Structure 1
């Protein structure tokens, strides 16, 4: 399959590499010139569970994609702030047969995607894989993961299953998931706690988990998320979500040494974060349903304050 990875950061690089190694025709598209130049000059330099390798995958700057460039599948891995800009850059390459899979963290991306992609070609979901971008053209991969998604418009399940098979054949553990909103709520609990706290406290997941206040912080934030999910008809078990994070994400032998994406963005690269699509999105939904979300509001404001203090761009 011809696949475009739109957003070749940490996670996009991981997916692009694994899909390439499975025999697909993969192209990276990204807005970071140094990263694109490094990939094209030196190849993607990969540390995969301690094994070093270099893989040649073509990369384009998003404002230099040829207008006649086409792909069967575009996988969106931009940050939420860059989503619409990426879609605008790719608009001439998207036709009636181009399928678009969005695996961005958080909520609200469908409204932007629908401006550029026919709704029947949109697939929405999330992933539990992890990856670290260590510099231009350099990525560190660790651990295991899964992908869950479904077609946005009913009646396109067969196409969704076809995409899932392509991803799974590449070792990405993809599943068509009917109750995708429930799965997305579970994932956003991870983003809304570890991502934010590791950025605010400037630590990795295991170090945050070692603090005496970690359990209370998780409980306060995730309880709000469960209340908002219930208002949308989604059964989010707060205790189950907390247990998953505490038993899986803190383990120093697996994922615990990982610095989540918000830390990578704000602390390592001084970039603006996707907080408004995570805690900010839940706070917005809370206002819509009349549900108090003081912890989500506070975390959102603290991240924005830190962005301003660091003059993040």
Structure 2
């Protein structure tokens, strides 16, 4: 199959590189100039696994304005707040016959993608896999080959032939996909997962394993999971996991699969970038308000992350002033 990854950061590179290794033709499109130029200079991207065995993997990378490819499927992995602008820059090469597939964190991307792709061409999912972009042209796949799992569903909840072919290619690339027919419930399971692990690890600057090792972690996780599930029930979302299964997922990924991993929200905060908290905990708050429910814990955490962002921006300005002095 032919894929084009739009948003070639940590997760975009992981999906694209592994699909390429599985025998597919893959192009990469990105808007971050230092990243694109570094990969062109190197002739590809340096890929490590758990900080070891670093090797250069050849990739074809383009800016949106110069891309002329015709893939079967686009894979979108931008940050939520960047997606609208990226889609606008890419829309000239989208065609009605092409599919859109995404496993982006948070919620808000589906509505934006539907402005460019027909409902029957949209497939979305969630990925429980850890990846770190060390810098321009340098990515680290966390976990052994074949580690991690993912779920995906058609927006129409009616899998077609292309969907099954996509699942086959994802299986070859060892993403361990599970196809469901519950679109919103599938996506919300990862929102709830991230609303616990991403947010708390970011606030306290710790790995997933360090959080899970805290004796009060289960109580904290349950409070956030229960409040999120209360929101989803009021919104009529049928979740793919029970509350206990969601807690079990948090613990397994944190303690067994990726205990040394700092979540993507932490990476954004640490590198002075805006976080996606409004599309994770903030989304649950918004969905709750729409259904006459106050998700107070998630609202409090959303404010806490924004306060931390303000402090990080203050720190950045201080560091810049010291360098200029």
TM-score, normalising length from structure 1? Answer: 0.92
Change (3 A) 1:56 1:82: same
Offset of residue 65 of structure 1: 3.1
Partner of 2:63: 61
How many residues align? The count is 308
1:266-285 alpha-carbon deviations (Å, 9 max, x no partner): 11x21111111111111001
Partner of 2:322: none
Partner of 2:85: 85
2:184 and 2:237 in contact (8 A); partners too: no
Once residues 238 and 153 of structure 1 are traced to their aligned partners in structure 2, the CA distance between those partners, rounded to angstroms, is 25
Pair 1:195-2:198 in alignment: yes
Partner of 2:323: none
DSSP-derived class of the 1:75 partner: strand
DSSP-derived class of the 2:313 partner: coil
5+ residue gaps, structure 2: 317-325
Q: Which moved more, 1:279-288 or 1:171-180?
A: 171-180
1:150 and 1:157 in contact (8 A); partners too: no
Once residues 180 and 120 of structure 1 are traced to their aligned partners in structure 2, the CA distance between those partners, rounded to angstroms, is 12
Runs of at least 4 residues of structure 1 off by over 4 A? none
2:201 and 2:211 in contact (8 A); partners too: yes
Partner of 1:304: 306
Q: RMSD of the TM alignment (CA)?
A: 1.9
Partner of 2:46: 45
DSSP-derived class of the 1:221 partner: helix
Partner of 2:107: 107
TM-score, normalising length from structure 2? Answer: 0.89
Alignment of 1:170-185 (within 5 A): 170-185=173-188
1:209-250 alpha-carbon deviations (Å, 9 max, x no partner): 233432222111111111112222414522221122123312
Offset of residue 154 of structure 1: 5.2
5+ residue gaps, structure 1: none
DSSP-derived class of the 2:100 partner: strand
Once residues 100 and 178 of structure 1 are traced to their aligned partners in structure 2, the CA distance between those partners, rounded to angstroms, is 17
Alignment of 1:95-134 (within 5 A): 95-134=95-134
